[in-house]
Amino acid sequence: MTPVSQSSDLMELDRAIAIVKAINQRCFCAMGIADKVDSLDGVSLSQMLAAKDRLQLESATSRSVDGVRRFYTVPDDRLIAAAYALQHYDGDDNAIVVVPGRDMFGEPCRKALGVVQLEGLTDQEGEE
């Protein structure tokens, strides 16, 4: 786990909660347990990471009130990177990045990361 530090320029708690919620919704949607995602328009990668750090700090420093402590579910950095890529790259059949790698049998291959568009999916208003 990444160490968190207290700083006077911490992100506002409500803003951090909203950003982390929107990131987590993308994962929940892929799992089929959420049907909508909140917007991440205008949210930078550094803001996404700062939001995660703020909620980690809140969880680590929360105190029990009437026997209840508040904890936040924060996304892994890989999920944050994926949410950022989905927000900032159009879906197509091109890779964003490609590196040499090995397949599951140890054979050389190329590993790629891209954003693809899935056809046939519509939102609740019937728009694609």
Classify residue 59 by burial, with Cβ atoms within 10 Å: 0-12, 13-18, 19+. Answer: middle
pLDDT value of residue 127: 53
- The whole-model pTM stands at 0.78
The domain tally of the chain equals 1
What is the domain range of residue 25?
13-89
List per-residue pLDDT tens for the chain, 128 residues long: 444 444 547 899 999 999 999 999 999 998 999 889 999 999 999 999 999 999 999 999 999 899 999 999 999 999 999 999 999 998 888 899 999 999 999 999 999 999 988 876 565 555 54
Residue 36 maps to a domain? yes
Any domain includes 39? yes
pLDDT of 125: 57
